[in-house]
């Protein structure tokens, strides 16, 4: 793993994961790509390529130009946006993924990493302490693309030896880049609303319980899996990873420990139905056993750190 190409680097996870790569591997070894422009110049110290993941030629040109040996593909349409435009979700999440896989095989890349999601689960899955291997019949197009993505990764690992890796991320909580059209976005929005307005109207319902992870843990898990010894891995792109689980009510109570006047009310929309069939918690024993996963951030410390970081922005 000497030259990494990060596609979708301007998004919620990409903007922080790429910085962690820079720190670990050196900016000169991290090529950054997105379909969007780097308007805020956050990648002034990296080579930035404008790449559309659905355009195989643009990815191939970057692989050849920079002698890429590892691709992290974060380009995706998330659950809520995907329900509004399922064709686009398929195009980016699957056609784009297949481009990355085919080029990974053609150029014999060291490894390819593509995130999956708790969205792979659905009404027929066990929704508490959800096992890694269970029924996967999701109720969103996003979830369908994530199941297909996991299966393609597994298939090409067995058929072509492509080293495909991925985590089923829970909802990711962070304070650098806003989330991009998901069902778990409330768990970021709520902090900005709490700091600015002392109140928040939630699009889920008070009892919607979902697994979540704070960005430092998300980055650490990703680096751990990326660097894990392949001979110790029994899976490819479908690792469950857990950190904490809560409902909007529990999160609001935790925020009130810092902002006593904070209030929350509820106006559930279609995203409540998506959340209803996602797990409340996941069994991540495979990640723990195979590559040593253990979360460090719980709800208490996450809430304190999120509020501190957002207050420092002076919005």
Shortest spacing between CB 79 and ligand AKB, in angstroms? 3
Residue 118 found at the interface with ligand AKB (CB under 6 A): yes
Considering only 3, 30, 89, 115, the residue that binds ligand NAD (CB under 6 A) is 115
Candidate list 107, 128, 142, 266, residue with the active-site label: 142
Which helix (H) or strand (E) segment holds residue 264: the answer is strand 263-266
Residue ranges in 30-69 that form contacts with ligand NAD under rule CB under 6 A = 34-36, 51-54
Helix, strand, coil percentages (3-state) for the chain, rounded to 5, are 45, 15, 40
Query: Smallest Cα–Cα separation from 209: which of 281, 113, 123?
Result: 281
Residue 14 found at the interface with ligand NAD (CB under 6 A): yes
Residue 149 found at the interface with ligand AKB (CB under 6 A): no
Considering only 119, 144, 152, 209, the residue that binds ligand AKB (CB under 6 A) is 119
Residues that contact ligand AKB, how many (by CB under 6 A): 10
- C-alpha to C-alpha distance for 243 and 211, rounded to whole angstroms: 7
Tokens of 121: 């689960």
Residue 139 found at the interface with ligand NAD (CB under 6 A): no
Considering only 130, 139, 183, 281, the residue that binds ligand AKB (CB under 6 A) is 183
Shortest spacing between CB 77 and ligand NAD, in angstroms? 7
- C-alpha to C-alpha distance for 82 and 141, rounded to whole angstroms: 6
Query: Smallest Cα–Cα separation from 252: which of 184, 216, 212, 198?
Result: 198
Whether residue 200 lies in the annotated active site: no
206 conformational bin, left if phi > 0, alpha if psi -120 to 50, beta if neither: alpha
Instruction: Quickly list DSSP for 2-14.
Output: --EEEETTTSTTH
Q: Which does 12 bind (CB under 5 to 8 A by kind): ligand AKB, ligand NAD, none?
A: ligand NAD
**Could you tell me if 28 and 45 are in contact, meaning their C-beta atoms sit under 8 angstroms apart?**
no
Which residues contact ligand NAD (rule: CB under 6 A)?
7-8, 10-14, 34-36, 51-54, 74-76, 78, 92, 96, 115, 117, 169, 171-172, 179-180, 182, 184
């Amino acid at each position: 793993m000497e030259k990494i190409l990060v596609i979708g680097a301007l998004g919620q996870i990409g903007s922080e994961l790429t910085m962690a790569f820079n720190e670990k591997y050196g900016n000169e070894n991290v090529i950054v790509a997105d379909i969007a422009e780097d308007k805020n110049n956050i990648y002034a110290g990296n080579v930035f390529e404008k790449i559309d993941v659905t355009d195989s030629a643009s990815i191939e040109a970057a692989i050849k130009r920079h002698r890429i040996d590892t691709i992290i593909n974060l380009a995706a349409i998330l659950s809520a946006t995907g329900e509004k435009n399922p064709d686009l979700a398929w195009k980016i999440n699957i056609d784009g993924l297949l481009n990355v896989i085919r080029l990974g095989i053609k150029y014999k890349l060291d490894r390819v990493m593509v995130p999956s999601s708790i969205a792979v689960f659905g009404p027929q899955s066990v929704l508490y302490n959800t096992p890694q291997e269970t029924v996967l019949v999701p109720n969103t197009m996003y979830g369908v693309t994530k199941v297909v993505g996991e299966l393609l990764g597994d298939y090409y690992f067995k058929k072509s030896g492509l080293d495909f890796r991925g985590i089923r991320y829970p909802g990711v909580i962070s304070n650098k880049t806003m989330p991009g059209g998901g069902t778990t976005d409330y768990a970021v929005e709520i902090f900005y609303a709490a700091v600015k307005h002392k109140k928040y109207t939630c699009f889920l319902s008070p009892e919607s319980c979902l697994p979540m992870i704070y960005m430092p843990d998300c980055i650490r898990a990703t680096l751990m899996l990326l660097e894990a010894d392949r001979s110790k891995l029994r899976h490819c792109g479908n690792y469950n990873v857990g950190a904490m689980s809560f409902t909007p009510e529990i999160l609001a109570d935790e925020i009130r420990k810092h902002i006593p006047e904070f209030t929350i009310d509820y106006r559930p929309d279609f995203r409540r139905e998506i959340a209803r069939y996602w797990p409340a918690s996941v069994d991540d024993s495979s990640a723990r056993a195979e590559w040593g996963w253990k979360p460090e951030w719980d709800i208490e410390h996450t809430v304190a750190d999120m509020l501190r970081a957002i207050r420092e922005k002076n919005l």
